[in-house]
Amino acid sequence: MSGIQEPFSEGNSLIHCLDPRGKIIIAGLFAVMVAVAKSMPAALVGLVLSLLCLALARLPLKKVILRLLVVNSFILILWLVLPLTYPGDAVLTFGPLSATRQGLIFTALITLKSNAIIIALMALVATVPVVTLGQAMHEMRFPDKLCHLLLFTYRYLYVFEQEFHRLVQAMKIRGFQPRTNLHTYRSYAYLAAMLLVRSYDRADRVFQAMLCRGFHGIFFSLRTFSWHRRDGVFVAAALLALGLLLYLEWWMPDLLVRIS
């Protein structure tokens, strides 16, 4: 069984049933708005909205938390650095270092915003199988090259994963054990180079096979999507919620805390 899986794309929740195009648009708008938000209320409401979507999508909680842990391990580094280096009023002092109020608030803001965006993307975009995502993007007139890059990458990711495992197994059965020495580094370098060369060759052969079937630079899509009433309702509700975000960001940025 392949290690590459899409556990979130399977399901029959309300969110799973929505037209992928609506979800992509809303997820995109939401991500941009939350990313540029500078105020605490907007970030908090963003997190609440994304949690709402997550609840509606009924995703397996354990896997969601695992993914969030990965993202938050990077954010942990920010918590170690930012409060100590951000200029402002000192609130905590550890020997020569001091954490500033502004630094703490700023780091909290980043934490809220990144979690809100990741959760929203999991609930809205990861609930669409990658293949459907590519087709929906094509339908939405995203640039052809982008859509096909996505679909091809996804298609051949499996092939390269298998190729990688074959190579690793070939190394293992001849007694290879990674250690901290030149032999190990060299072997890994060979492995990476071999994968690169093979994928280049494969790309060549795939293109040849496409030429043999009359490919002349244009892709045709067979997939059609249908827009239901529930999609209209979802997009309208989501736009209202985004309006609320905008309102909080513009008119009451200092509702909870003053940043500067």
Report in angstroms the alpha-carbon separations of 195 from 97, 159, 192, 216, 260. 47, 11, 5, 28, 51
Give least dist CB 228 to other proteins, A: 20
Minimum gap (Å) between residue 215 Cβ and other proteins: 6
* Binding footprint of other proteins on the chain (CB under 8 A): 131, 134-135, 151-152, 154-156, 158-159, 202, 205-206, 208-216, 218, 220-223
What SS3 class is residue 18?
coil
Cα maximum dimension of the chain: 72
User: Smallest gap, in angstroms, from Cβ of residue 226 to other proteins?
Assistant: 16
Residue closer to other proteins (CB basis): 16 or 113 = 16
Closer Cβ to other proteins, 128 or 241, answer by number: 128
Inter-residue contact 30 to 154 (CB < 8 Å):
no
> Would you call 162 helix, strand, or coil by DSSP?
helix
Q: How far is the CB of 9 from other proteins (least distance, A)?
A: 12
Q: How far is the CB of 202 from other proteins (least distance, A)?
A: 7
Q: Least distance from C-beta 209 to other proteins, angstroms?
A: 5
Residues 6+ apart with CB under 8 A from 4: 157, 158, 161
> How far apart are alpha carbons 113 and 126 in whole angstroms?
18
Both tokens assigned to 78:
């920010």
Q: Which is nearer to other proteins, 131 or 195 (CB)?
A: 131
**Residue whose CB is less far from other proteins, 173 or 218:** 218
CA distance 160 to 4: 11
Contact criterion met (CB below 8 Å) for 68 and 74: no
User: In the complex with other proteins, which residue's Cβ is closer, 96 or 214?
Assistant: 214
User: Please, which residue, 21 or 198, has the CB nearer to other proteins?
Assistant: 198
Whether 123 contacts 59, CB under 8 Å: yes
